[in-house]
């Protein structure tokens, strides 16, 4: 038997709610996810090429890299930045360990 946990945010409350309210798989939702994946991939590939060529033309002598773009990259970058901020804000504390 297969059930689906449906949530849109990675916060504990939403994940716990989704686990309490497992649903039957929805074929239309599955098709929609697959369509979004294909659109994201094609958009990312096309726009990466477009902006890389455009920037390379403007800075012919100095620009030799690929300038990547993708709808998912912004969200992923948010996770990376958030984690870096937590690392930067870390204050070490002394701790003790007792071994018997």
Which residue range is the domain that position 52 belongs to? 12-89
- Residue 95 forms part of a structural domain: no
Tens digit of pLDDT for each residue in 20-34? 999 999 999 999 999
Q: Judge whether residue 90 has pLDDT over 90.
A: yes
- Residue 53 forms part of a structural domain: yes
- Residue 2 forms part of a structural domain: no
Question: What is the distance between the alpha carbons of residues 18 and 6, in angstroms, rounded to a whole number?
Answer: 5
pLDDT score of 13: 95
pLDDT score of 60: 81
- Residue 38 forms part of a structural domain: yes
**Number of folded domains in the chain?**
1
Q: Quote the pTM value.
A: 0.58
pLDDT score of 23: 95
Tens digit of pLDDT for each residue in 31-81? 999 999 999 999 999 999 999 998 888 888 777 888 888 888 878 889 999
Closest C-alpha to 40, from 68, 81, 12, 1? 68
């Amino acid at each position: 038997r297969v059930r689906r946990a449906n949530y849109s945010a990675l916060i504990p409350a939403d994940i716990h709610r989704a686990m309490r309210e497992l649903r039957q798989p929805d074929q239309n939702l599955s098709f929609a996810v697959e369509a979004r994946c294909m659109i994201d991939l094609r958009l990312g590939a096309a726009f990466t090429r477009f902006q890389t060529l455009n920037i390379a033309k403007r800075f012919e002598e100095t620009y030799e890299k690929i300038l990547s773009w993708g709808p998912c990259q912004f969200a992923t970058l948010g996770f990376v930045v958030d984690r870096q901020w937590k690392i930067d804000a870390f204050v070490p504390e002394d701790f003790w360990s007792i071994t018997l």
